[in-house]
Each structure stands twice: as structure tokens, then as C-alpha cells.
Amino acid sequence: MAEIKKVLLNKEGLHARPAGALAKTAAGFKSKIELLFNQKKVNAKSSLSLMTLGLGHNAEFTIFADGEDSEQAIKTLSELIDKEFKI
């Protein structure tokens, strides 16, 4: 299992477009991937689930990945978030 704490830099928060990019990227991994924010954990492979978190600008959250490619999943998702979802 791997995890990383992140801060959402995207000024508009985690709306449909970045949530879709995050879910699409997460879906490319075999690992189970989840995001935790305010004691609520959701499936990171579902854009709708991600949007229910209500992540706003500068929100602090944690990404968890569990599986054979968990380290690569964390690295790739972290880079996507750092680039403010610009693929």
C-alpha cells in the first residue's frame, strides 16, 4: 500500500474536468485507488465520487493506492495534481 498527502492547487477546485482527468488516470492502474478528505474516502476511479468530496482550492487530502502498481499510481496521480490536471 502506498499513500501521499497532497494540496489541491487548482483554483477552481475539483470540478468535472479535473475530476474526470483524475478518474481516467486512476482507472489506468490495477490498484485500488482512493482519496480521503474530511474523513470521507471515495473511489478515485469514479469522477462522480471524487466530486462528492467538495475539494476546493488549497484543500489538503490523501491518496491511497493498494495493489501491484500502487507506487506508480501514486507517482502518476501526484504529478497530474501538481500540473493542475494539465495532461
- Confirm whether 15 is a catalytic residue: yes
Of the residues 15, 32, 41, 75, which is catalytic? Answer: 15
Q: List the grid coordinates of 65.
A: 493506492
Q: Which runs of consecutive H residues, i.e. helices, occur in the chain? A: 16-27, 47-51, 70-82
- Cα–Cα nearest to 18, from 35, 30, 40, 4: 35
Active centre residues (catalytic): 15
